[in-house]
Amino acid sequence: AVSRVEIHDRIDSTNAYLMREAALGMPSGVACLAERQTAGRGRRGRVWVSPFGVNLYLSLLWRFPLAPAALGGISLAVGAVLADLLHAEGVADLTLKWPNDLLWRRRKLAGLLLEVSGESQGPSHLVVGLGINLRMQTGQGDEIEQPWASLEEALQGRPCPRNRLAGKVLDVLAGALDLYGREGLEPFAELWRRFDGLHGEPVRLMLGERVVCGTHAGIADDGSLILETGGGRMRFQAGEVSLRAM
């Protein structure tokens, strides 16, 4: 369960903060929210644009008795439960892009950044960071280099108060992390597949300098991405997927 919630007016990054505190012994289940981040972190070293007051920036620290290697599928598990939550809140046309980008009509609605630390044999801790675009104001989106959507737009007039949403997100995340710790990815795989927005589509996977083209064939039981390529079926643990024009 969530053991404590900290709300900061301004912070460098809710993820960076919990990673620092975790190293100093902060207990499992602490959540951190901020009105604004001065150094919001995205995946692959990108910046997460984090203006004051309009969006949701939230992180949750979780400790596992498992070694870091056992946490491989966790980013899909949290993506799946969050997609399910936003769908239940009324967002239609919501899809997941492997491993866990939340897209609305192919534009980014929310992003997840998971950071793990621990010895290879011993227990590990994880920080799950979530940024949801709630209602980006005109002009503020100019710095974002990918197409994005806001929850306000995706809900098309349905109300979704920020505090209530934050409470639900924390509940759902804590429940998912707890279940993953006991049963792994298995209980989440079907849910993930339900939101798989690229199944059967031609995609490109960027792996550092390497590019692999193929048809998106869903996820394997360990959460890896399956591509049908000219050279056969291949599985990938990392990389960045994008849709490829035919």
Q: How far apart are CB 132 and ligand BTN at their closest, in Å?
A: 8
Q: Does 73 bind ligand BTN (CB under 6 A)?
A: no
Q: Does 125 bind ligand BTN (CB under 6 A)?
A: no
Identify which range of 77-85, 108-116, 177-185, 206-214 contacts ligand BTN by CB under 6 A: 108-116
171: left (phi over 0), alpha (psi -120 to 50) or beta: alpha
Identify which range of 42-50, 71-79, 150-158, 210-218 contacts ligand BTN by CB under 6 A: 42-50
Using the rule CB under 6 A, which residue among 113, 166, 173, 177 binds ligand BTN?
A: 113
Active site residues: 43, 108, 244
Q: Are 115 and 126 in contact (CB under 8 A)?
A: yes
Q: How many residues bind ligand BTN (CB under 6 A)?
A: 20
User: 210-219 and 202-207 as β-strands: parallel, antiparallel, unpaired?
Assistant: antiparallel
Using the rule CB under 6 A, which residue among 29, 79, 111, 239 binds ligand BTN?
A: 111
Residue with the CB atom nearest ligand BTN in the bound state: 111
Q: Does 79 bind ligand BTN (CB under 6 A)?
A: no
Q: Does 42 bind ligand BTN (CB under 6 A)?
A: yes
Provide φ and ψ at 164, rounded to 5°: -65, -40
Identify which range of 21-29, 39-47, 160-168, 201-209 contacts ligand BTN by CB under 6 A: 39-47
Nearer to ligand BTN, 96 or 217 (CB): 96
Q: Does 15 bind ligand BTN (CB under 6 A)?
A: yes
Binding site residue list for biotin: 13-15, 37, 41-43, 108
Q: Which residues bind ligand BTN (CB under 6 A)?
A: 13-15, 37, 40-43, 46, 48, 57-59, 101, 111-113, 129-131
